[in-house]
């Protein structure tokens, strides 16, 4: 049965009420009069391009008819890919995600469109239409959930990367869900998948899991590299980076895991390993980008691990390096303040030197999604917590309390339970020094935490 109001009846009513002739409306809309007549009579289907022209001619907003068009063309009648493809693409361009969801739920009964939907999702991802792409990947994954296929695994990989955001519990859930699909991917694509998964666990501070994935990454990269006799150029390879990068990055991740577990001697050992791995013969221009990157990391991390072992004499060299490498300021400051708290160092001069940088970092809350931003969010919270500790240790309680409630707010925003617990414990230790204003802010933040966990309890949510 047709809906009570069809697109063609709406067009016909509009022309009549405006007092237009068919030819006049054809002229203002840009649709041929004969074509327009056939559309109104129902003897010719409406193409997407014609629908957009008609909508514009009627002075309606773009996509005004899309919901009705989806129902008429793809739900109530057998869909044809020749018409479905431009419809989904236009919906993605106009961010009409409800229309996409409604239509793909219907058309996937016909499994013949699964390959086309997957390829379309890939195209949307390349064009930055991430939400629409994710819908199509989820649709394809659902249709192929009982298949042991590489396409299913690739869909799950795409869904995983598109799921990463600021909520750490959601990120953990996405990581746990995706991990079983890694081995179904093409061997080379597995390298990027493991790398992305390892970065996610790094932001979650799962150091043992990070080390395990880093070890797997290095092992797989070594095997693939042993079978690859010649360099593959950037345009034709499957991996995002040259193969030697994955072996080197594996050791960098291991060094990071060791550092965070307080194993600084081991961290230095893995730093030396990745420094040696990037010394490849006959590097090209792209190779040199990564070689220089790892060389910088070798230098700075050597300073860092020595500082974390209590070698205070490296601090001026480390600070000088940061001044020449501003992009590393956030990471470096976190570590310097952490070392200061651990070894009771006075770093007031360092904080003064980087005062503008610190204020800039703490005021930058326009963070996007993805694992790099996960790491940035994590570092942001750690910076605030370490600053709070530093000020408390130096009896600057007002400054410490302000940083602490800011840290708590950040931890709540990204749903980091460990940081929330640490902040609460530290606040209770120094509560006596909290002003009435800070007490009020703290109370409101704790109400927010309470409300969130009440919602979780009432809806039966679990962590993963």
pLDDT per position as a tens digit, 193-226: 999 999 999 989 999 999 999 999 999 999 998 8
What percent of the chain has pLDDT above 90? 70
What's this model's pTM, rounded to 2 decimal places?
0.84
Per-residue confidence band for 143, with pLDDT thresholds at 50, 70 and 90: confident
**Average of per-residue pLDDT across 27-42:** 91
Per-residue confidence band for 233, with pLDDT thresholds at 50, 70 and 90: low
pLDDT per position as a tens digit, 58-76: 999 999 999 999 888 887 7
State the Cα–Cα distance between residues 359 and 365, nearest whole angstrom.
12
**Average of per-residue pLDDT across 417-438:** 94
Per-residue confidence band for 235, with pLDDT thresholds at 50, 70 and 90: low
Residue 293: pLDDT above 50?
Answer: yes
């Amino acid at each position: 049965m047709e809906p009570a109001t069809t697109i063609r009846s709406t067009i016909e009513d509009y022309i009549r009420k405006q007092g237009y002739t068919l030819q006049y409306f054809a002229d203002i809309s840009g649709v041929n009069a004969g074509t327009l007549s056939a559309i109104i009579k129902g003897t010719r289907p409406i193409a997407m391009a014609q629908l957009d022209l008609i909508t514009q001619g009627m002075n309606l907003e773009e996509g005004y008819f899309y919901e009705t068009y989806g129902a008429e063309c793809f739900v109530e009648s057998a869909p044809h890919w020749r018409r479905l493809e431009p419809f989904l693409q236009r919906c993605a361009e106009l961010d009409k995600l409800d229309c996409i969801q409604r239509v793909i739920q219907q058309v996937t009964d016909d499994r013949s469109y699964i390959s086309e939907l997957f390829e379309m999702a890939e195209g949307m991802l390349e064009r930055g239409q991430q939400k629409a792409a994710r819908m199509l990947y989820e649709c394809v994954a659902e249709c192929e959930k009982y298949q042991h296929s590489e396409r299913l695994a690739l869909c799950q990989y795409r869904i995983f990367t598109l799921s990463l955001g600021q909520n750490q519990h959601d990120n953990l859930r996405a990581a746990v869900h995706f991990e079983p699909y890694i081995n179904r991917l093409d061997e080379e694509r597995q390298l990027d998948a493991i790398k992305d998964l390892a970065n996610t666990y790094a932001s979650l501070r799962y150091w043992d899991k990070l080390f395990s994935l880093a070890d797997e990454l290095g092992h797989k990269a070594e095997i693939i590299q042993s079978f690859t006799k010649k360099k593959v150029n950037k345009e034709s390879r499957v991996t995002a980076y040259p193969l030697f990068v994955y072996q080197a990055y594996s050791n960098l991740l291991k060094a990071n895991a060791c550092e965070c577990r307080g194993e600084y001697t081991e961290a230095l050992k893995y730093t030396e390993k990745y420094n040696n791995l990037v010394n490849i013969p006959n590097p090209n221009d792209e190779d040199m980008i990564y070689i220089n990157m790892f060389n910088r990391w070798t230098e700075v991390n050597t300073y860092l691990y020595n500082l974390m072992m209590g070698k205070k004499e490296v601090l001026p060299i480390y600070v000088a390096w940061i001044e020449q490498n501003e992009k590393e300021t956030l990471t470096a400051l976190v570590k310097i303040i952490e070392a200061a708290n651990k070894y009771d160092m006075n770093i007031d001069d360092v904080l003064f030197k980087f005062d503008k940088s610190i204020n800039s970092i703490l005021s930058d809350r326009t963070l996007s999604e993805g694992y790099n931003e996960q790491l940035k969010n994590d570092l942001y919270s750690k910076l605030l917590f370490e600053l709070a500790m530093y000020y408390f240790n130096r009896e600057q309680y007002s400054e410490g309390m302000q940083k602490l409630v800011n840290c708590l707010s950040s931890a709540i925003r990204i749903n980091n339970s460990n940081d929330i617990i640490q902040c609460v414990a530290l606040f209770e230790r120094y509560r006596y020094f909290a002003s009435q204003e800070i007490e009020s802010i703290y109370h409101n933040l704790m109400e927010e935490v309470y409300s969130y966990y009440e919602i979780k309890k009432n809806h039966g949510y679990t962590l993963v």
